[in-house]
Structure 1
Amino acid sequence: MSKIAFVFPGQGAQYVGMGKELYENNELARKEFDKLFSSLDFDLKTVMFEGPEEALKETKNTQPAIVSMSLILTKLLEEKGIKADFVAGHSVGEYAAFGAAGYLSIDEAVKLTSARGKFMNDVAVKVNGGMAAIIGLDSDKIVETLKTVEGIVEAVNFNEPKQTVIAGQKDAIERACVALKEAGARRAMPLAVSGPFHSSLMQEAGEKLKEEAEKYNFQMTDVKLVANTTAEVLQNVDEIKEEIYKQSFGPVRWVETIQKLKAEGVTQIYEIGPGKVLAGLIKKIDKEIQVKNIEKLEDFENIM
């Protein structure tokens, strides 16, 4: 029996106006958005729908914006009778996966995401770190090469076989980019992000999230979630909390996550949320898996 997975994008997929079309043209979406917006202590609605772009790019705003849109789209998809057997999310997309699996209510998933964005913002400001995308070099070679680079720099996002993101101290990133090009990378591009996300420099954010997670009511359901840091299925609430802690300063094993979904019998994946980044990555990991994007109302018309 073939299985369905829902996957959710992470930071970088956002754009000003995301979700506005849903809000203005779908009653259920408007109701859910209003409920979410009123549960937060800042004006996410204006930032999402009107911008400015600089405000939306701030981690504390970006993360709840992406997760809110993803979860409301999921609700609309489920209204059409499509349910997930498995879920996974890329980086902050994993928080949308917690909500989509029913491990948290939509409101709680967004509230926890909002806390994550704030904690990561606070730590990123202090540590002077960055990230860079390395194209055209095997991840094993990248990991080996980074061992020779002075300073803190780590492979953190294993996005597809020939694209890995590194993170760490800014000067170490610069040295790493030179070393990785010498090792055969086609490109080494610094990314316009506000911090060294998923690297060990972010551990303080993980400690704060660990405390925060204790305030939430998690429950297991029959939907299985493949975790970023291990590419294994979470089995219980303790494992969910451990993933929340470790994921903020641990790797996103996206290649292995997709391979795990395939091994579990997934043949169809819905990418739910802004953009089509994950669809592109999935095609490079496994061409056999069918991927559909759910981002706008028109995407619901031909999904059955």
Structure 2
Amino acid sequence: MTSNKSAVIFPGQGSQFPGMARELFEQSTEARRLLEQANDLLGFRLTDTMFSGSEDDLRRTDVTQPAIFVHSVAQFVARPDLAPGAVAGHSLGEFSALVAAGVLAFEDALPLVARRAQAMQAACQEQPGTMAAILGLDDATVEHICLEISAEGAVVVAANYNCPGQLVISGSVRGIERACEALKAAGAKRALPLPVGGAFHSPLMQSAQAALAEAIEKTAFREARCPVYQNVDARPHTAPAEIQANLLAQLTAPVRWTQTVQNMAQAGTTDFAECGPGKVLQGLVKKIAPAAAVSSVS
């Protein structure tokens, strides 16, 4: 895969599963080396939880994020033939994409991911919140109702533009409850509360930004080898300063995945390969760009 028409995409939180990366560890020398390096960098055996932990063990933000990131990058390094024309990642997946594009070294990116996870976990405890998936409504209607409820004093915002007809909202528990009621009344097919520990990609993550900003400033970012489509504006970036700013803004801004895939397709990407645990992004890409070829890196 060396064509500019090919992109590699990386999943975010929610793609974890018990036993993740065990096959990679057993079958690929490069992946095994990277997974052992992750254990050393973190100071605990993350792989023990990945291979043998329960779903609950893997659901903790401070474990989930490093686990998905490490699995995704290990899968990428196990395929040295991959030379994507562009990369993108969904939320946390953007860090994996930055390693694939040569912007971040793995040994620099993993401590950043761990710091981000800790900061987000702390923000969740300071400002309890939640998220819900809204199915079957257009984006404009969801945005309008979120604005109305926010104007009344409850926090609720559009957080993940996953694909047409699927938008995740994020905010305070009260804000989400009120929004779910109002969105069902407006014609949503479903308004599903998500089993998450906080209001990711919302103003309630502001305290996590300060902690991450400090870590980002101390980390070396390089010019990207290929365009990195970032969540905040769904546009391609290669310059380190722009990438850093967008990575920081991502914590409180929505993930514009629908717009990202649309922009990649318009720029000539015809093949999307998902790299990491699960198949969530493959399903979303099929709905956003039905003409594109979608596969898994394995």
TM-score, normalised to structure 1, is 0.94
Q: State how many pairs are aligned.
A: 293
Aligned residue for 1:121?
121
In the alignment, the residues of structure 1 paired with residue 193 and residue 173 of structure 2 have an alpha-carbon distance, to the nearest angstrom, of 9
Is 1:210–1:244's contact at 8 Å kept on the other side of the alignment? no
In the alignment, the residues of structure 1 paired with residue 4 and residue 236 of structure 2 have an alpha-carbon distance, to the nearest angstrom, of 18
Aligned residue for 1:109?
109
Pairing 1:237–2:279 present: no
Aligned residue for 1:92?
92
In the alignment, the residues of structure 2 paired with residue 110 and residue 264 of structure 1 have an alpha-carbon distance, to the nearest angstrom, of 30
In the alignment, the residues of structure 1 paired with residue 148 and residue 189 of structure 2 have an alpha-carbon distance, to the nearest angstrom, of 19
Residues 103 and 2 of structure 1: CA distance in aligned 2, closer, same or farther (over 3 Å): closer
Structure 2, unaligned runs of 5 or more: none
Match of 1:147, SS state, is: helix
Is 1:206–1:247's contact at 8 Å kept on the other side of the alignment? no
Residues 2 and 103 of structure 1: CA distance in aligned 2, closer, same or farther (over 3 Å): closer
In the alignment, the residues of structure 2 paired with residue 123 and residue 286 of structure 1 have an alpha-carbon distance, to the nearest angstrom, of 35
Structure 1 residue 47: Cα displacement: 1.3
In the alignment, the residues of structure 2 paired with residue 3 and residue 143 of structure 1 have an alpha-carbon distance, to the nearest angstrom, of 33
Aligned residue for 1:302?
none
Aligned residue for 1:207?
210
Amino acid at match of 2:226: V
In the alignment, the residues of structure 2 paired with residue 5 and residue 280 of structure 1 have an alpha-carbon distance, to the nearest angstrom, of 15
Equivalent positions of 1:11-160 (< 5 A) are 11-77=13-79, 79=80, 81-149=81-149, 150=152, 151-160=154-163
Match of 1:266, SS state, is: coil
Is 2:11–2:276's contact at 8 Å kept on the other side of the alignment? yes
Aligned residue for 2:279?
276
Displaced runs of 4 or more, over 3 A: none
Aligned residue for 1:180?
183
Structure 1 residue 25: Cα displacement: 2.3
Match of 2:270, SS state, is: strand
Aligned residue for 1:292?
295
Structure 1 residue 30: Cα displacement: 1.1
In the alignment, the residues of structure 2 paired with residue 25 and residue 106 of structure 1 have an alpha-carbon distance, to the nearest angstrom, of 20
In the alignment, the residues of structure 2 paired with residue 235 and residue 100 of structure 1 have an alpha-carbon distance, to the nearest angstrom, of 13
Structure 1 residue 104: Cα displacement: 0.6
Structure 1, unaligned runs of 5 or more: 300-304
Amino acid at match of 2:26: E
What is the aligned-residue identity percentage? 41
In the alignment, the residues of structure 2 paired with residue 260 and residue 16 of structure 1 have an alpha-carbon distance, to the nearest angstrom, of 34
In the alignment, the residues of structure 2 paired with residue 230 and residue 208 of structure 1 have an alpha-carbon distance, to the nearest angstrom, of 22
Amino acid at match of 1:84: P
In the alignment, the residues of structure 2 paired with residue 138 and residue 280 of structure 1 have an alpha-carbon distance, to the nearest angstrom, of 19
Is 1:202–1:248's contact at 8 Å kept on the other side of the alignment? yes
Structure 1 residue 2: Cα displacement: 5.1
In the alignment, the residues of structure 2 paired with residue 157 and residue 177 of structure 1 have an alpha-carbon distance, to the nearest angstrom, of 15
Pairing 1:168–2:171 present: yes
In the alignment, the residues of structure 1 paired with residue 117 and residue 4 of structure 2 have an alpha-carbon distance, to the nearest angstrom, of 36
